[in-house]
Structure 1
Amino acid sequence: MTGNIKQRPIDSLAGKKILFVAPSFFGYAAEIERELKAAGATVFRYENRPVTGFLGKVLVRLFPAVLRPVTKRYYEAILSNHQNDAIDLIFVLRGEGIDRSIVARFRKFYPNARCVLYLWDSFRNDKGADDRVNHFDTASTFDLQDARVAGIRFVPLFYLRDYAAQRSVAADIDISFIGTVHTDRYAVLRRLLATVDREASRFLFLYFPSKVIYWARAIGSPSFWGAKQSEFSFVPLSRDELLVLVGRSRVMVDIERPVQTGLTMRTLEALGAQRKLVTTNASVAQYDFFDARNIAVIDRNKPSLPSDFLASGFVATAPDILAKYEVGYWLEVVLGLRDCPGYLRQ
């Protein structure tokens, strides 16, 4: 005998066909695809750029006109691959390189499909995004300021369920930083760590996606002149390695790009794992999960920690607040399957 199984909003996707376009960023797209498939949907996932990696990023950001014909041919090939599939939903994450003409082709091929866009980068770091949002049925962004300017929905990022499982792990690293080296991150991190007790254990993973970028910074940026190449990695962490390190950390350090107000993925992973956070992003104080006992906001120019921050324990976040940032809930909100909840403090 079986009891009644409570239906979730995402279960309405059962039997639907979804064209999912997203960058393979640290495995997050694969996890989202897994959620969609678990709900019973058929998912066709593609990269959002025809050329991936460092070269693709350089071309699409610095020379978009050069890549535009290649991008259009790439999407025409995708449409050709699924010309006999009745697509119900076109779900695009970021969509760097997608312009109005490509969205128009989507609509011509699949007139009954709903087109949904989610942005996990700021307008100032994603050229054309402020126009891109106008050509989708629904658009959401992780950046509160961009949401207000463009009049679109504000939906913060998410944490994966595996991070919730890290809450019971015994942490043995006092403070850690895991992230890509960009903007002033390295300089801010060095200034912060200079103020941390020398007895505190630490783990740093500083990732450069290309040695070309590393050498450009090593030669041209004074903040790198004293750095050693051995401090950096040119191979990203795997999803499982990242998960383990977050679980082992008492305090995670987050240094966002100066041009964004949206919260980074690292912030949400710390929330999901119930780990303390040190961040330069002052906008975190507006969110409903903010607690100064768990989150220290620092000045990126003169960073310092409250004296007892590393030693004091974590104060658990209310379950109803935590639930809103879990990937399944996030997906339901982004796809319009449930109402958008409030994320900010009242």
Structure 2
Amino acid sequence: MENFFNGKKILFIAPAFFGYEREIKKRLEELGAHVDYHDDRPSTSAWSKFAIRVMPRTQQQAIHRYFSVLLDGNHGNYDFVFIIKMECMPADILQALRDKNAKAKFIYYSYDSVKNNGNFRQSVGQFDSAFTFDDQDAQTIPGIRLRPLFFLNEYRDLPRTDIGYNVTFIGTAHSDRYALVKKISAALPPNGKPNFFFLFIPSVVIYRLKKLFVPAFFKSKISEFSFTPMNKAQVMEAIAKSNVILDFQHPNQIGLTMRTIEMVGARKKLITTNQNVRKYDFYRPENIAVIDRETPQIDPAFLTTPYVDLPAALYDKYSIDGWLRDVFSVAP
């Protein structure tokens, strides 16, 4: 695969998503590509993100100005134009990019369900290849193929350390996650080791609004949340020290979360609410416990039995290199 990317010029447009856009760029450059990265949004401020999703018409001028500058600086010499999610890019800018880069292959990937991204739906036919993490979208939308997410090489190389935590959850306290953590905390049988639950909220103001208006938060305590996210090194250290990882997909999504795939690479057992995981080739009941969102029940034996190794080909498939190989259609 190194020879495939060597010297290739890639225009990479993606929203900032927990640093994964930087990791993708870094790995492509390690493989020999020259990558120009641009955020898919004109601003990463909390207000801008909110307005783009809730009041998109108020942001149209700013979005068009932002992408017009990007287009003006484009010299039409890319081998690939790689776009993730496409939450903001106007259809006419995408068409103009195609016109300028007539020899480039246009590739699309989404880590969100298409139903949550109306901006992309009108532009499906503009891409030479398109992929999604959502198997339902892959089955119902012509031209989009299923390709689950990936794990970074650091997860594959996690140190084998003494287990300090029984069950660990690390994530943003959106949707029903706080309520789920409380339910599962109560359902977990004791085994002599502490559990570690890290619930992130972007600001104290957002927490106070949730406490006022979201029933699940009415009895919550501010001490149960963090307003500073864990960095990648901290997340990996916590996972390395954990016996089992807990993960919840957004209730409006069926695609597998990044955390689910990361646990494949880390060789860690997983408890998840995503019933859909049973369809995937890496699923083993010894490694993954699927629980009900409403009445979660956890078999105590799952917490004490060992992880079962998978075939080597599956670890390769779900690595970042395997993901890039599929998304860029690199011949074996």
Partner residue in 2 for 1:126? 117
Letter in 1 for 2:35: V
| Contact in 2 for aligned 1:175/1:251 (Cα 8 Å) | yes
> 32-41 or 297-306, which moves further after superposition?
32-41
- Matching of residue 79 in structure 1 with residue 86 in structure 2: no
In structure 2, the partner of 1:248 is 241
How much has 1:235 moved relative to structure 2? 1.8
Quick one: which amino acid aligns to residue 77 of structure 2?
Answer: A
Q: What are the Cα deviations for residues 52-76 of structure 1, in whole angstroms up to 9, with x where unaligned?
A: 1321221111111111221121112
CA distance in 1, matches of 2:280, 2:295: 24
* Number of equivalences: 330
Give the conservation status (yes or no) of the 8 Å contact 1:103–1:136: no
Residues 136-151 of structure 1 correspond to what in structure 2 (within 5 A)? 136-151=127-142
Q: What per-residue deviation string (whole Å, max 9, x for no partner) do you get for residues 64-97 of structure 1?
A: 11112211211121122333x6111111111211
Q: Is the CA contact 2:64–2:90 (under 8 Å) kept in the aligned structure 1? A: no
Equivalent position amino acid for 1:216 in 2? L
Q: Equivalents in 2 of 1:338, 1:71: separation in Å? A: 37
* Residue 93 (1) aligns with residue 84 (2): yes
Partners of 2:123 and 2:178 lie apart in 1 by 32
**Separation in structure 2 between the aligned mates of residue 297 and residue 277 of structure 1, nearest angstrom:** 8
Matches within 5 A, 1:190-201: 190-198=182-190, 199-201=192-194
TM-score calculated relative to the size of structure 2:
0.95
- How many Å apart are 1:167 and its aligned residue? 5.7
Aligned pairs for 1:226-241 within 5 A: 226-241=219-234
Partner of residue 176, structure 2: 184
Q: Does 1:38 align with 2:30?
A: yes
Q: Which amino acid aligns with 1:287?
A: Y
Q: Does 1:53 align with 2:45?
A: yes
Cα distance between partner residues in 1 of 2:123 and 2:193: 46
Say whether the 8 Å CA contact 1:99–1:132 is kept in structure 2: no
**1: CA distance, partners of 2:311 / 2:249:** 25
Aligned to 1:63: 55
Deviation of 1:180 after TM superposition, in Å, equals 0.9
Deviation at 1:170, TM superposition (A): 3.2
1:93 and 1:14 map into 2 onto residues whose CA distance is 22
Residue 330 to residue 338, structure 1, CA distance change in 2 (3 Å): farther
Deviations 1:205-259 (A, max 9, x none): 1111233432221111221111111211222211111121121111111111111
Which position in structure 2 is the counterpart of 1:326? 319
Correspondence 1:111 to 2:102: yes
| Cα distance in 2 between the residues matched to 1:213 and 1:124 | 26
Amino acid at match of 1:250: N
- Aligned counterparts of 2:128 and 2:274: Cα–Cα separation in 1: 31
Contact 2:138–2:146, Cα closer than 8 Å, also in 1: yes
SS of structure 1 residue aligned to 2:123:
helix
| Contact in 1 for aligned 2:189/2:300 (Cα 8 Å) | no
What's the Cα RMSD here? 1.6
1:325 Cα offset (Å)? 0.2
Which letter maps to 2:165? I
Structure 1 CA distance for aligned equivalents of residues 312 and 283 of structure 2? 14
Q: Tell me if the contact between 1:167 and 1:274 (Cα under 8 Å) persists in the aligned partners.
A: no
Aligned with 1:171 (options 141, 163, 169)? 163
Where does residue 93 of structure 2 map in the other structure?
102
Q: Determine helix, strand or coil for the equivalent of 2:249.
A: coil
Moved more, 98-107 or 122-131: 122-131
Match of 2:209 among 216, 220, 236: 216
Match of 1:292 among 282, 285, 288: 285
Distance 1:276 1:167, change over 3 A: farther
CA distance in 2, matches of 1:66, 1:315: 51
Larger mean Cα displacement after TM superposition, 272-281 or 314-323: 314-323
> Which residue of structure 2 lines up, in the alignment, with residue 155 of structure 1?
147
Alignment partners' CA distance in 1, 2:42 and 2:293: 36
Runs of 4+ in 1 over 6 A off after TM superposition: none
Question: Amino acid of the residue matched to residue 271 of structure 1?
Answer: V
1:196: how far off?
A: 0.8
Structure 1: state its 5+ residue gaps: 1-7, 340-346
In 2, Cα distance between the equivalents of 1:116 and 1:185? 33
- Which amino acid in the other structure matches residue 285 of structure 1? R
Residue 317 of structure 1 corresponds to 310
Deviation string, structure 1 residues 184-203 (Cα, Å, up to 9, x no partner): 11111111110112444111
1:225 aligns with 2:218: yes
